Amino acid sequence: MAIITLNNNSLSSVTALPAGVGGKVLQTVTSTNNQQISTTSTSFVATNLKATITPTSTSNKIIILVSGTVYNNTVEKNTLVTVYRGGVSSGTNLGSGGSFSSLSRVYSAGGEIVVPTAVTFEDNPSTTSATLFEVAIKIDPSGTGYFGINNEKTSIVLMEIAG
């Protein structure tokens, strides 16, 4: 059997991604909760579902995946789900654009509808400090909105992606 030398490189440098090619998942953080949260607020309130990640580079991105069940007890009303970087009380709403790609809007067409929801965000926190991401809900325009209805499991997953 012949041994092939690749330009005198070690195997690790041959299998590594070339410089400038991002996209590799560097770390993941997961948090779950089994606590039903309800609100009648038209402003976002915390759901107690949160996770913290410490990025390894300021150029890396964080992908945030949120899943759970959402409900509004009033016909033809909405419950909205979003994520705040830095916490609900003083952070940045990642869904402030209001589009479906960055904010989950669950519409109750006929009353008793519990809807599974999944929200995905991409964030560029530009820091290597520990960064909190917290899920929040609000109602629009009225009713009572619920997240994690009947104490069903909700989750948030943070993935650091090489920039």
Domain with 141 in it: what CATH number? 2.60.120.1340
pLDDT at 21: 61
Separation CA 47–CA 41 (nearest Å): 12
49-53, 94-98, 151-155: range with lowest mean pLDDT:
94-98
pLDDT at 7: 56
- Tally Cβ neighbours within 10 Å of residue 43: 9
Percent of the chain surpassing pLDDT 70: 75
In a domain, 148, yes or no: yes
In a domain, 114, yes or no: yes
What is the mean predicted confidence (pLDDT) over 24-41?
96
Q: Which domain holds residue 84?
A: 37-161
Segment 89-102, tens digit of pLDDT: 999 999 865 433 34
pLDDT at 118 over 70: yes
In a domain, 4, yes or no: no
Confidence of residue 119 (pLDDT cuts 50, 70, 90): confident
pLDDT at 109: 57
pLDDT at 156 over 80: yes
What is the mean predicted confidence (pLDDT) over 120-144?
93
Q: How many domains does the chain have?
A: 1
In a domain, 140, yes or no: yes
Q: How far is CA 145 from CA 60, 71, 86, 132, 148, in A?
A: 34, 6, 23, 24, 10
Question: What is the token pair recorded at 64?
Answer: 């945030």
